[in-house]
Amino acid sequence: MFCRTGPVVVGLLLLFPATVFAQWGKMAPLTSPNGGCASLKFFDDKVGFAYCDSKIFATTDGATWVDKGDARPTFPIASGAAVFLDLNTVLLGGSTLDPSTSFMQKSVDGGMTWMAKPLPGAPKVVTTTAAVFFDAQNGIAFGITQTGAGRAVLASSADAGDTWTLVALPFIDAAATQSKVVAAAMLDGNTFVVSAYQKVGATTTTFLQRSTDRGATWTAVTAPAFGVHALAFPDATHGFGMVGGGPEAGLWASQDGGITWAKTSWVVGSLGAGNVIGMTWKDAMNGLLFATDGIMRSTDGGNTVTRETLPADWLPNDPIVNGVEWPGPAAYAFSTAGTKEILKNPTAGGTSTPIDAGATTGMGGAAGAGDQGGATGAAGATGIGGAAGVPPKTGGGGGCAVGGRGERSALALAAVLLLMIFGGHRREAGLPRTRRWGRY
């Protein structure tokens, strides 16, 4: 399991001087998830997870990462299909031969064990390309069948991904030779906005549809003819949609929950920007857009956009920025490319509410004699003790408590961290209570 270590960041600063970022910089020193990333989720400015190279990484200080080394899922994960609902609960989607038995995989112990979650009535062979949750209970997942040219699949869950219901898409023609849900958003527990397309013969039709009853009925939304390929709603009223080509290419905005849309003043390509892949908005005015050649920022609701400064070896187009997570004031970015570290901008703006920390910390294990590993660490109050040290290292890891906010000694925590790092093991610890989080 992963343990929230609260003010351990003070000890970390004493041990490892933090990198100073002028804008975006690589997350160093120590280990950053390196390449092949599919998802990031932060629960406050420093505590978060990354799913990279089919592994779960955790950070408690927003600067250093630990490979949890947990049980791996059994199918590949598409970018965007990994969702962290809280510090324990993870949902993973990908390519599955039989969604009636395994549409998503779910872990409730931080990735230690996984359970298959079916989608009754789904066609055979489905790739889940993305999942979007409004809160820790209500979410939608979408993908495409792998039979023929592929048909759109949309599913919803109201119980944190334990059960999934196939959502009918009546606006897609039964005669369509190909169809796909391109982007989707949840405005509340019942309201979905979905962008999709279909091909019937040589004719391609795009849709922007809205439902207020979890997909039981749909209403067509007047949308750009070329189609919206990215959607983001920072609240239930304000939304943004990106159109990548054609005469209506650009950023579109809604101020009535996705019912009507108007194009913003930003001229796509005015910065020499490549195709915008997606975006995240802190509020109705402040957003970060990630494109094939970098990250751009708007502070006026998308009417003007400025380019962010990235490390030199990330530009141009090497690699593409595939996602941005913005808890505030820091923001983080990742790529699906296989050779790049996660980036961080510590002063991206905004705020986030720190999650509760545990009250006490368990003791480190005793040093081993000679080439023997150390003893198992003692548990903190209701926490789980650290694993024993691995020969020829010495010292077991610390335990960690579950509980409300508590005071800890930074030096003591630093000592426990050293035992964890040099004890040659994965730290196992209890998890704190969490608050419910906002839109993913």
pLDDT in tens, 209-244: 999 999 999 999 877 767 899 999 999 999 999 988
Confidence band of 355 (pLDDT split at 50, 70, 90):
confident
Stronger pLDDT, 145 or 270, i.e. the higher one: 145
Q: Which CATH architecture has domain 22-345?
A: 7 Propeller (2.130)
Confidence band of 67 (pLDDT split at 50, 70, 90):
confident
Q: Is the pLDDT of residue 157 over 90?
A: yes
- N residues, the chain: 440
Are the CB atoms for 331 and 16 separated by under 8 Å?
no
Confidence band of 192 (pLDDT split at 50, 70, 90):
very high
Q: Quick one: DSSP state of residue 74? A: S
Q: Where are the domains of the chain?
A: 22-345, 356-440
pTM for the complete prediction?
0.75
Model pLDDT, residue 370:
43
Lowest mean pLDDT among 15-19, 242-246, 271-275: 15-19
Stronger pLDDT, 377 or 382, i.e. the higher one: 377
Q: b or e along 330-368 (b: 16 or more beta carbons within 10 Å of the residue's beta carbon)?
A: bbbbbbbeeebbbbbbbebbeebebbbbbbbbbbbbebb
As a whole number of angstroms, the distance between CA 197 and CA 180 comes to 6
Structure tokens at 244: 């990548």
